[in-house]
Structures are given as C-alpha cells and as structure tokens.
C-alpha cells in the first residue's frame, strides 16, 4: 500500500513538473499566433478586456504609449476590420511574436507591424507601428505576403540566433557607412518600404504577379538612387543615405531561427540637412527631408537565407527628432 502511494505521488510530481515546464518555457508557434489573433479581435472590438493582457501591460503605437483601457486614439479606437493580408514571425525561445498585416479604419487601409511579448499566458508588451495614408499606387505589393517570410529554411541554410541579429545590424552599419560591401546580400535581394518597391531588380513571383502595367517614364525623368529599384547595394554605395545622421538605437527582439527571419525597430535619425557629402568628396543636395529634422521608428523585417539578406520589408513613420521608440 505504501509503495502504491509513493508511486502515485511520484507520478503526480512528475506530471506537475511537465505541465509547469510547458507553461513556463514554451508557447510554441501556434500558441504565439493565437495570442496575436486574440489581440487583433479585441482591438477591432475596441475592448481590451477581450484579450489576455497582464495587469501592467504596456502598449505603444508609433512610439507613443497609450492606455489600453478606454483608448480614445490609435487603432484601439479607430480600427473597424482586419484585412486578408497578414503573416507572423514567431520566437518561442523569447516568448515574443511579430505580425504584419492590413487593418482597416473605415474604408481606409493601414499597414500594421506589431510585436507582442507573452509571459505566464498573458500579454505583457504590445508595440505597434501603423502607417496610414497609404499610397494607392503601392498597394499592389500588399496583395499577398512574401512567401519566404513563412517558409522554413533547410537545415543547411540556418544560422544561429546571434548571427541573425548580427547580420540584421550590419545592414544598418552599411547605411551609416555608405557602403554595401560589408552587407551579405542574397542574389535575389529586394526591399519594400511602406509597400513601395525601392530596391531589387525584380520581385519574387508571388509579388510580381500583381504588378500593374506601369506608364512609360517621362523623358529625362530622374529617380533618386534611394528608390531606383537597382541592386540592393546600389543606394548604399551611391551616398544618397548620407543625410541619415544615425540609425540608433537598434532593437531586434523577435528572431525566428527556423525561418531565418528577424523583426526589429530601428530609429532612423535625420538632421534635415540641405546638402550631403558624397563618398567621392563632392557635395550634393540632400535627396529628401530637407529642413525636416525627424526620427523614424522603422519596423524592419529581414529574411536571411544561408547567411545572406534576401527579403527586406520596412514599415515606418516620421516622428519628432530623437523622440525615441518608447522601449529604449
């Protein structure tokens, strides 16, 4: 009898240990995505009580902290429906998950990039970048998500979490140093910025399938190297980014090792200069943000295959200079 009681007790402790370990350590990909869906449904309902927020959960939209209860601004007050465009970046190791998708405010679409932190089965942090007033000419790139963001890498193409974060940061080093030579580019590299195709000689087929027939360019029309759709390295090497004072601070909180995807927020700081010094020493007019000092909290996603950057998606807004991201 005593032996039976001891065995029963041991099994009980063992089972409790498994349950505790599962709940404390691993909310897997499916679990993390479920939290995002609960969040989005509660947001559209304008009712934070419908999502599992921790008592002291923090929420920022476009780098400004907003109270979740009784919100009178931001998507928690204005969203009316969710669009079909959506994909996730899951990081079970860190208990964090990112989401990119379309949210509607009435009949106006907005592009949302957001991050949730999950602790003890509750949402403790919610960070969002929302781009409103989308240029209709760029909406065709948002018909379907880039397929590579949701594809698992072959084991031979995977690299460590630390390397993924390092490569993501080297991209911004290249912008600051005006050289693409230090960035490991994939042959199929391209970049989208707020839906606008800004780099890469061609898009993946699932995106290119939606490209409208473009009108012929006006004779003599010039396009800034920052938006010329050349190879990913060309804008870096051209010197056009010399108007960027710095890209600091940098955060890469969500890393999906299985898929080789990172999600972060990086602060682009602009002094609003009129001219810039190019790599060859010449002085040229700044390409944009002239007399407009600002900082941009830029949510950027990278797909890194075999240690090389292939897909780049940037989603950002213009804020006051050095206003911070709310999480630094």
Residues 125 and 153 in one domain: no
Backbone φ, ψ for residue 159 (5° rounding): -130, 175
Query: Taking the CB of residue 283, how many other CB atoms lie within 10 A of it?
Result: 9
More confident residue, 22 or 205: 205
pLDDT of residue 160: 97
Residues 84 and 198 in one domain: no
Q: Measured between alpha carbons, how far is 241 from 30 in angstroms, rounded to an integer?
A: 39
CA angle 322, 101, 128 (to 5 degrees): 30
**Under a CB-based contact definition with an 8 Å cutoff, are residues 146 and 206 in contact?**
yes
Going by pLDDT thresholds of 50, 70 and 90, the confidence category of residue 68 is confident
Average pLDDT, the chain: 90
Residues 172 and 307 in one domain: yes
Going by pLDDT thresholds of 50, 70 and 90, the confidence category of residue 213 is confident
Q: Measured between alpha carbons, how far is 183 from 160 in angstroms, rounded to an integer?
A: 17
Residues 177 and 270 in one domain: yes
pTM (predicted TM-score): 0.89
Q: What H or E segment, with its residue span, contains residue 309?
A: strand 308-316
> Could you list the residue range(s) of the whole structural domain that residue 185 is in?
149-209+224-316
In a domain, 292, yes or no: yes
Q: Measured between alpha carbons, how far is 234 from 228 in angstroms, rounded to an integer?
A: 9
CA distances from 159 to 88, 153, 258 (A): 20, 10, 9
pLDDT of residue 25: 54
Q: Is the pLDDT of residue 120 over 80?
A: yes
In a domain, 144, yes or no: no
- Tally the domains of the chain: 2
In a domain, 12, yes or no: no
pLDDT of residue 226: 72
- For residue 260, is it left (φ>0), alpha (ψ between -120 and 50) or beta? left
Q: What is the mean pLDDT of residues 96-104?
A: 98
Q: Measured between alpha carbons, how far is 288 from 276 in angstroms, rounded to an integer?
A: 11
**If you ran DSSP here, which 8-state letter would residue 48 be given?**
G
Q: Is the pLDDT of residue 16 over 80?
A: no
Residues 154 and 273 in one domain: yes
Q: What H or E segment, with its residue span, contains residue 161?
A: helix 161-177
Nearest Cα to Cα of residue 115 among 168, 61, 78: 61
Residues 130 and 170 in one domain: no
Q: List, edge to edge, every strand of the sheet that includes 122-131.
A: 64-65, 53-61, 122-131, 108-119, 96-105, 81-91
Q: Is the pLDDT of residue 19 over 60?
A: no
Token couple for 53: 């927020």
Peptide bond into 35 cis (omega under 30): no
Residues 72 and 157 in one domain: no
Q: What is the CA radius of gyration of the chain?
A: 22
Q: Is the pLDDT of residue 3 over 60?
A: no
Nearest Cα to Cα of residue 212 among 198, 230, 226, 197: 197
Q: Measured between alpha carbons, how far is 76 from 71 in angstroms, rounded to an integer?
A: 6
Lowest mean pLDDT segment, chosen from 66-70, 173-177, 297-301: 66-70
| pLDDT tens by residue, 223-264 | 666 777 889 999 999 999 999 999 999 999 999 999 999 999
In a domain, 308, yes or no: yes
Bridge partner residues of 97 (DSSP): 90, 116
Going by pLDDT thresholds of 50, 70 and 90, the confidence category of residue 222 is low
End-to-end CA distance of the chain: 60
| pLDDT tens by residue, 107-119 | 999 999 999 999 9
Residues 160 and 279 in one domain: yes
CATH code of the domain in which 295 resides: 3.10.450.50
**Under a CB-based contact definition with an 8 Å cutoff, are residues 149 and 248 in contact?**
no
CA angle 200, 204, 207 (to 5 degrees): 105
Q: What H or E segment, with its residue span, contains residue 81?
A: strand 81-91
Residues 65 and 126 in one domain: yes
Q: What is the mean pLDDT of residues 61-83?
A: 90
In a domain, 238, yes or no: yes
Residues 175 and 304 in one domain: yes
**Under a CB-based contact definition with an 8 Å cutoff, are residues 57 and 67 in contact?**
no
């Amino acid at each position: 009898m005593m032996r039976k009681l001891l065995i029963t007790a041991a099994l009980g402790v063992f089972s409790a240990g498994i349950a505790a370990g599962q709940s404390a350590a691993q909310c897997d990909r499916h679990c993390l995505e479920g939290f995002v869906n609960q969040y989005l449904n509660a947001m559209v309902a304008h009712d934070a009580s419908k999502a599992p927020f921790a008592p002291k959960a923090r929420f920022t939209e476009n780098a400004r902290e907003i109270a979740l209860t009784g919100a009178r601004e931001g998507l928690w007050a204005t969203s009316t429906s969710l669009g079909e465009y959506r994909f996730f970046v899951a990081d079970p190791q860190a208990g964090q998950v990112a989401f990119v998708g379309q949210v509607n405010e009435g009949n106006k679409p907005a592009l949302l990039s957001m991050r949730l932190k999950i602790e003890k089965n509750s949402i403790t942090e919610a960070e969002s970048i929302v781009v409103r007033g989308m240029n209709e000419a760029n909406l065709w790139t948002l018909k379907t998500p880039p397929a590579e963001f949701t594809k698992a890498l072959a084991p031979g193409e995977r690299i460590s979490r630390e390397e993924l974060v390092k490569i993501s940061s080297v991209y911004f080093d290249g912008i600051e140093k005006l050289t693409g030579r230090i960035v490991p580019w994939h042959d199929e590299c391209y970049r989208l910025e707020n839906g606008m195709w800004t780099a890469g000689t061609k898009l993946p087929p699932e995106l290119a399938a939606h490209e409208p027939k473009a009108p012929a360019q006006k004779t003599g029309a010039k396009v800034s190297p920052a938006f010329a759709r050349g190879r990913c390295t060309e804008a870096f090497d051209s010197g056009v980014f010399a108007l960027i004072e710095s890209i600091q601070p940098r955060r890469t909180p969500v890393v999906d090792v299985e898929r080789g995807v990172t999600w972060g927020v990086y602060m682009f700081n602009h002094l609003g200069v009129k001219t810039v010094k190019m790599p060859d020493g010449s002085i040229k007019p700044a390409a944009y943000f002239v007399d407009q000092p600002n900082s941009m909290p830029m949510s950027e996603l990278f797909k890194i295959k075999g240690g090389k950057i292939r897909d780049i998606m940037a989603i950002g807004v213009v804020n006051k200079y050095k206003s911070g991201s709310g999480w630094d």
